[in-house]
Amino acid sequence: MIKRCIMIMMGCILFLTGCSVPYSKQGVHIINREEKQMPPTNFMPMSVKIVSIGDSLTEGIGDIEGNGGYIPYLKNKIEVNRSINEAEFNNYGVKGNRTDQLLIRLKQEKIKTSIKEADIVIITIGGNDVMQVFKENLMGLNVNMFLDAEKGYSERLTDIMDTIVSYNNETEIFLVGIYNPFIRWFSDLKEMDDIVNSWNNSSFAVSSNYNKTTFVPVDDIFRNHEETLLYTDYFHPNNQGYKLMADRIYDYLGKKGKLYKMLK
């Protein structure tokens, strides 16, 4: 009798032990899992493709190291972030380019292909458009000449934006403003600051018409800095000038869009 009771008790224990493991109605083992946080953005670093296009500020004239102006500084700042594996730049800057010349170059197949694949397009343009007014009217400069030329500049800049968007409507465009080095050559033309401001306002107005386009001002950098930021030609930035340009562009890249999402 005692032996039989012991056997019955052992059977109950085994049965209850087996029941302690949760099963679904279908007999499949249910595993209780705690909610896990998503991995941080630097868990799988990503690459970003950037096309830099425009004039001598993109080519890097004035950079005594010959590394490409603001681009190496900007590339380094981006790649310091652990969430970025590589910032791949394609530099299509050409010294002396105006908006009309840039429009023609945008039709080149290599540039078109690069823009199609780009996450970001950075443009420097406009300084040579202003200089053209100087060159063509040295003997009789007046403010109205610049205002008239500004209208054509805005129209061509709009065509540039339309062309880039037609190649890639997902890319983000950052348009870098112009600054005023001209006062060193034409100190008697006091209105030059107003002219530069007006052209920058036109650039901002054009950029505001596009959802993924941002205007990046740089005039204040060169106007308010105590030490000279210009190369020996008093027109192009020197290395310190390019470094500060890169800092400003990086600030704007990190405020919105794809790079913002990667860096936050």
Residue 223 has pLDDT above 90, yes or no: no
User: What is the model's pLDDT at position 1?
Assistant: 41
234: DSSP letter: S
Nearest by Cα to 222 from 237, 207, 233, 210:
237
Residue tagged 């600030």 (tokens): 251
User: What is the model's pLDDT at position 119?
Assistant: 96
Q: Which two tokens stand for residue 216?
A: 């990046």
Q: What is the mean pLDDT of residues 72-100?
A: 94
Please give the model's pTM, rounded to 2 decimal places.
0.81
DSSP E strand stretches across the chain: 46-54, 84-93, 120-124, 172-176, 213-216
The tens digit of pLDDT for each residue in 98-151 reads: 999 999 999 999 999 999 999 999 999 999 999 999 888 877 777 888 889 999
Q: 46-54 and 84-93: which strand pairing?
A: parallel
What is the number of residues in the chain?
Answer: 264
- The per-residue pLDDT of the chain, averaged, comes to 83
Residue 57 has pLDDT above 50, yes or no: yes
Exposure string for 204-218, b = 16+ CB within 10 A, e = fewer:
eebbeebebbbbbbb
User: What is the model's pLDDT at position 28?
Assistant: 44
User: What is the model's pLDDT at position 244?
Assistant: 96
Q: What's the fold here for domain 47-263?
A: Rossmann fold (3.40.50)
Quick one: what percent of the chain has pLDDT higher than 90? 57
Q: Domain residues of the chain, as ranges?
A: 47-263
The tens digit of pLDDT for each residue in 179-188 reads: 988 766 665 6
Which pLDDT band, with edges at 50, 70 and 90, does 43 fall under?
Answer: low
Q: Lowest-confidence range among 8-17, 104-113, 174-183?
A: 8-17
User: What is the model's pLDDT at position 126?
Assistant: 96
- Residue 52: CB atoms within 10 Å: 28
